[in-house]
């Protein structure tokens, strides 16, 4: 319960506005966390359209179940990784979708937990969002070669002292806890400015353990595919590597031609399927940052789906498939049909 009262949803008003939440509709919160954004979506969509909430962390599902129990009739909470978004939507008959939200990163509960995400609390070096994942931060720190570690830290955090840190880790390992690693980094590169010297390395390890960037890119592509006409996609990111993926993909999908600059005539045949809602990224106000310092790095981007021939054809294919086996949408749970639908989606 502590989590629900301590995790403050970031950019809440801006998110609800960008999602254009209205009564009815089908909503997906891909990063349920403490259910803060989900609760607001349900409130604004009253009488509620169904909400599908996803989180890879079973603890987040438990907390959201308690928080959203009054609307349990129209709320489906699923302990899954959002990288499986498309398969989840098909499995739960949740198509087409009107709104998809990603509020990336970690919740306050996770940061304060004994799972090694924070360099401020003593905990085993774990950093897995889901206990079902195999690789922990300790596995990486204690088994990667020095050059692999240096590359990983550089790639996922743009830390300029990555080589020094990797060298010291290899000298001092095995490392077991978050504070052991944090102190080692502080001794290696010293303290400068306000940011703790271990911030970047912890970010890099967390991204690697949870394959955050790969999963984000794959899930965003699926989300764009799943949105119905005028459906909205909103993504809140917390570091530049995430934001770059969101920015590049949404900008690319809002253009009719993505040929390299200088190409005399279009050869890509690409057509825009998104309209950017905010040309400039939305960031929290000073008042929000003062109230909730964890919001300071948040960036919100939003886009609206515009119909494309490819999408119309995809839904026609689905309708035909449903019709061919004589079922309404409920029949999508039929295993044979599901298999066909998955094929149709992967081909679309
Ligand atoms: C910042 S919190 C979301 C907070 C939420 N919006 C709220 O208002 O309470 C991010 C959540 O995303 C979840 N998450 C991160 N990566 C995920 C993934 N690949 N699949 C599913 N959930 C993920 C985390 O477990 C965490 O609970």
What distance in angstroms lies between residue 175's CA and the mean position of ligand 1's atoms? 27
What distance in angstroms lies between residue 172's CA and the mean position of ligand 1's atoms? 33
For 112-168, how does the pLDDT look when each residue is reduced to its tens digit (9 = 90+)? 899 999 999 999 999 999 999 999 999 999 999 999 999 999 999 999 999 999 999
pLDDT score of 321 = 59
Overall CATH class of domain 113-210: mainly alpha
Architecture of domain 2-108+213-307: 3-Layer(aba) Sandwich (3.40)
The single-letter DSSP state of residue 237 is E
Look at the pTM and tell me if it is higher than 0.95.
no
Nearest ligand 1 atom to alpha carbon 101: 6
- Determine the Cα–Cα distance for residues 71 and 284; give it in Å rounded to an integer: 29
Conformation bin of residue 207: beta by default, left when phi > 0, alpha when psi is -120 to 50: alpha
Q: How many other β-carbons are positioned within 10 Å of the β-carbon of residue 183?
A: 15
| Top-confidence residue, 309 or 236 | 236
For 9-39, how does the pLDDT look when each residue is reduced to its tens digit (9 = 90+)? 999 999 999 999 888 788 999 999 999 999 9
Indicate the range of 86-90, 217-221, 314-318 predicted with least confidence.
314-318
Give φ, ψ of 304 to 5 degrees.
-115, 140
Band of residue 310 on the pLDDT scale cut at 50, 70, 90? low
Residue 73 · residue 40 · CB < 8 Å:
no
Residue 250, pLDDT above cutoff 70:
yes
Map residue 178 onto helix, strand or coil: helix
pLDDT score of 190 = 92
For 193-246, how does the pLDDT look when each residue is reduced to its tens digit (9 = 90+)? 888 999 999 999 999 999 999 999 999 999 999 998 889 999 999 999 999 999
Residue 8, pLDDT above cutoff 90:
yes
- Determine the Cα–Cα distance for residues 91 and 345; give it in Å rounded to an integer: 13
Per-domain residue ranges of the chain: 2-108+213-307, 113-210, 310-348
- Which of 33, 61, 64, 81 maximizes ligand 1 atoms within 8 Å of its Cβ, making it the mutation to test the pocket? 33
- Which of 56, 215, 239 maximizes ligand 1 atoms within 8 Å of its Cβ, making it the mutation to test the pocket? 56
Give the residues surrounding ligand 1 with Cβ less than 6 Å away: 7, 9, 31, 33-37, 54-57, 60, 81-83, 103, 105-107, 129, 215
- Determine the Cα–Cα distance for residues 332 and 348; give it in Å rounded to an integer: 18
Residue 318, pLDDT above cutoff 90:
no
Share of the chain above pLDDT 90, in %: 68
Band of residue 332 on the pLDDT scale cut at 50, 70, 90? very low
């Amino acid at each position: 319960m502590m989590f629900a009262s301590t995790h403050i949803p970031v950019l809440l008003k801006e998110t609800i506005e960008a999602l254009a939440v209205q009564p009815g509709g089908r909503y997906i919160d891909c990063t349920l966390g403490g259910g803060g954004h989900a609760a607001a979506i349900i409130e604004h969509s009253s009488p509620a359209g169904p909400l599908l909430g996803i989180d890879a962390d079973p603890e987040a599902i438990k907390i959201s179940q308690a928080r959203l129990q009054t609307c349990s009739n129209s709320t489906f909470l699923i302990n899954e990784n959002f990288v499986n978004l498309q398969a989840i939507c098909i499995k739960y008959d949740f198509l087409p979708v009107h709104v998809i939200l990603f509020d990336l990163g970690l919740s306050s509960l996770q940061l304060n937990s004994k799972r090694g995400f924070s360099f401020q609390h003593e905990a085993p070096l774990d950093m897995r969002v889901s206990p079902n994942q195999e690789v922990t931060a300790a596995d990486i720190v204690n088994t990667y070669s020095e050059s692999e570690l240096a590359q990983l830290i550089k790639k996922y955090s743009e830390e300029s002292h990555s080589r020094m840190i990797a060298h010291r880790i290899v000298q001092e390992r095995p490392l077991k806890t978050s504070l052991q690693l944090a102190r080692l980094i502080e001794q290696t590169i010293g303290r400068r400015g306000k940011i703790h010297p271990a911030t970047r390395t912890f970010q890099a390890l967390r991204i690697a353990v949870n394959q955050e960037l790969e999963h984000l890119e794959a899930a965003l592509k699926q989300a764009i595919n799943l949105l119905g006409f005028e459906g909205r996609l909103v993504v809140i990111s917390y570091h530049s590597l995430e934001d770059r993926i969101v920015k590049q993909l949404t900008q690319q999908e809002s253009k009719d031609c993505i040929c390299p600059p200088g190409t005399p005539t279009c050869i890509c045949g690409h057509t825009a399927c998104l309209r950017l809602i905010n040309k400039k990224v939305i960031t929290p106000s000073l008042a929000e940052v003062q109230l909730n310092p964890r919001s300071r790095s948040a960036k919100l981007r939003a886009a609206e789906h515009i119909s494309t021939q490819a999408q119309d054809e995809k839904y026609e294919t689905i309708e035909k498939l449903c019709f061919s086996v004589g079922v309404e949408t409920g029949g999508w749970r039929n295993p044979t049909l599901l298999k066909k639908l998955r094929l149709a989606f992967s081909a679309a």
